[in-house]
Structures are given as structure tokens and as C-alpha cells.
Amino acid sequence: MVALSGGVDSATTAWLLQRQGKHIAGMFMKNWEEQDTVSGCSAEEDAEDARRVCQQLGITFHGRNFSAEYWDDVFAHFLAELKAGRTPNPDVLCNREIKFKAFVDHAMDLGARRIATGHYARRRDNPDGTVSLLKGRDAGKDQSYFLYALSQDQLALALFPLGEMKKDQVRSLADQADLAVARKKDSTGICFIGERNYDRFIDQYLSAEPGPILTPEGQLVGRHKGLIHYTLGQRKGLDIGGRSGFSEAAWYVAAKDVQGNRLCAVQDSRHPLLMSTRLWADTLNWIGGKPPTSGQRLTAKVRYRQADQHCTVAGCNDRILELVFDEPQRAVTPGQSVVLYDGDQCLGGGVIADCNAPRPSWLSPTEQSNSKPT
């Protein structure tokens, strides 16, 4: 069963598998109920494009609505994390709970033995019967970061036909096959928001209380529109300008005080408040089943498309991972994922809980500690 999104990657995935002689069908997942007429998600258009590809290839089309599962297992968590002052990554949960769980269950019910997606990632079958997740060959499109939370069972069912390819090759194949979506523009951003204004969308679900923006020294420089609309390192949307006694340099979010509803901003993208060499993560998942060992040298990403960062495992148990980086990392953000690699192999990772960046002295006591989580 091929997970068809209505885009060029999944369509090319289906075409490639059919060329290999696989007996395939396609399934489109509707993960969000559109509630306005200005939606950028265009689920109906995407579903129709997926259906057209199936007709073109002569394979069966299935449509499934996973909106309820998405709300319960992804979106509710997304809102709770925003409310707590963190910056969640819904794509990780969507892969684990929807694309490789709800989708798989429905595919198996229809008689499928394997699933295939258009992810730019690779899997490796090991001699001991385990399966490893590897980076996609296209470094600019590699999506292993979003797949780190998969289990052995989930990964063992999955095929990633695009893993060895680069995006321009995929486009070329789609043109060669004259696929209906060959020239379709790639989708970007969070799927349930689409092209809508992010702040207005979030305001539909969470109340945003305005508050002060302070410098690290506690000087008032502006007003924020609600902490749920900001993340560490953010530059746009602060609306601070022309302040007496300050330069015209850009301002960046450096800290969030959820208890006091205050935002800290600085005029240096690499200000000490934004830099850390150590982080702690929880909600861990290790694809191979075994955690890394203390002292192990690896690389890690603290955000998607970041270059690999050299690091050392300072400690790891069932609950907490502690990493020390060779070079200071900018805007290590609680709620985002840190993903570990040994060469091209994605070992797994966890959700960032804290880091050792310094804090403004005026932060509320509960926001002040950056010691190791227990």
C-alpha cells in the first residue's frame, strides 16, 4: 500500500514500485477537517490528484479519514506543548501515530503486506534480523529526522523507494512517466495549517495573553502578543524598532517566562542566552532497541536540515539523554527533537527538555533552573 499525498514524491514512489513488478494499491490520508474557506491544506484537491495518479497507473485507490486520530494523537499534544511554552514538532508524532500506525492498520486490513512512502530515507536489513534507518542520499531532502520515533516493527514494514535518489531525479522520472502531478509544487509547512496565517490559526484554539518584552537586564522594549506565538531564536514578529538607547540591529527571542508571561529579547543572533553546549532530552526512542553508551561519539541534529553536529553522550538511561556538543548550539529549543546519528545511521533520539544556556536573572523561579532534569 503506497501512502499517496497527491504530490510528486508519493506518485513517483508508486510508479517505481509498479515498474519493479510490485502488486500495489494507493491510499490517501485525510488528516485534517478543514473548517474555513481560506484553507491552504486543499485536502480535496490533493485527494483528487492522488485518485488521478491511481487511475493513470491502473491501481486501486483507497481514501481514509484519520482526522479524529490526528486530533487525539497529534494536534491535542501540539496544543498542550504550545500552552506549556514549548515548541512541538507535530511531524514526528504524525509519522509515528498516523502514517506508520493508523495508516498501517488500515493497509493491513485491506490485505497489504508492506507499506511504501515518499520519504527521503533508507532502510537497511541487518544480518541479525533487525532493521536500521539510514539518511536519504539527498542531503538537502533527507527526512530521517522526522522518522526517529519509529519502532522496529514499524520500520520493518516500510519501503522508501526514493531513499537512494535526489529530488531532481524524482522530478525527472515523474516527467518521464508523464504523471499527472509531475509539475505540482511541493507542499511546505505544517499540514494542518497550510498557507493560512499561523498566528490567527493558533488563536482559534488557544488564548494568547499579551505581555512585556524585556532585555536580559529587565528593560522594557516592547509588547508580545502571547507566548504561544514565539519560539527561541525567532526574529520575525517581535515588532521592536526605533527604541531609544538601542541600535537598529534585529531583535531575537532569547527566553520565555511562562509563569510571568514575559518574553526576553536580545540584539545578537548568537547572544550567550541563545547558546548552549549541553542538552537533556526525554521521551526517548532508540530504533535498534539499545540506547547509546556514555562516552560514545556521535553526531546530532537539534532541528531539521541542520548540519550534523559532533557530540558526546554524557549519559543515557530509560528516561533521560544528556549530550555535550563540541561547538555551542544556537537556540536549543524545548519541545523540539534531538536526533542522533552514527554516520548515516539514525539511532533515534528524544524531545529536548532543557539545555545549559544561561537565563535572564528576572525569570520566574520555576523557569530559572537549567540543571539536569530528573
Strands 220-224 and 211-214: antiparallel
Number of C-alpha atoms within 13 angstroms, CB side, residue 121?
Answer: 21
Residues with active-site annotation? 94, 191
The 3-state DSSP class for residue 54 equals helix
The pairing of beta strand 121-125 with beta strand 211-214: unpaired
Grid coordinates 483507497 are at which residue? 62
Buried b (16+ CB within 10 A) or exposed e, 347-361: bbbbbbbbbbbebbe
Cβ atoms of residues 217 and 206 within 8 Å:
no
Helix residue ranges, H only, 207-327: none
Burial class (CB within 10 angstroms; exposed 0-12, middle 13-18, buried 19+) of 292: buried
| 76: CB partners within 8 A, 6+ apart | none
CB 181 within 8 A of CB 53: yes
Amino acid identity of 183? Answer: R
SS3 assignment, position 50? helix
User: Which residues, 6+ apart, have CB-to-CB distance to 371 below 8 Å?
Assistant: 354
For residue 257, give the nearest of 169, 369, 108, 145 by alpha carbon. Answer: 369
The C-alpha cell at 301 is 541534529
- How far is 143 from 148, CA to CA, in rounded Å? 9
CB neighbour list of residue 201: distance below 8 Å, 6 or more residues apart: 193
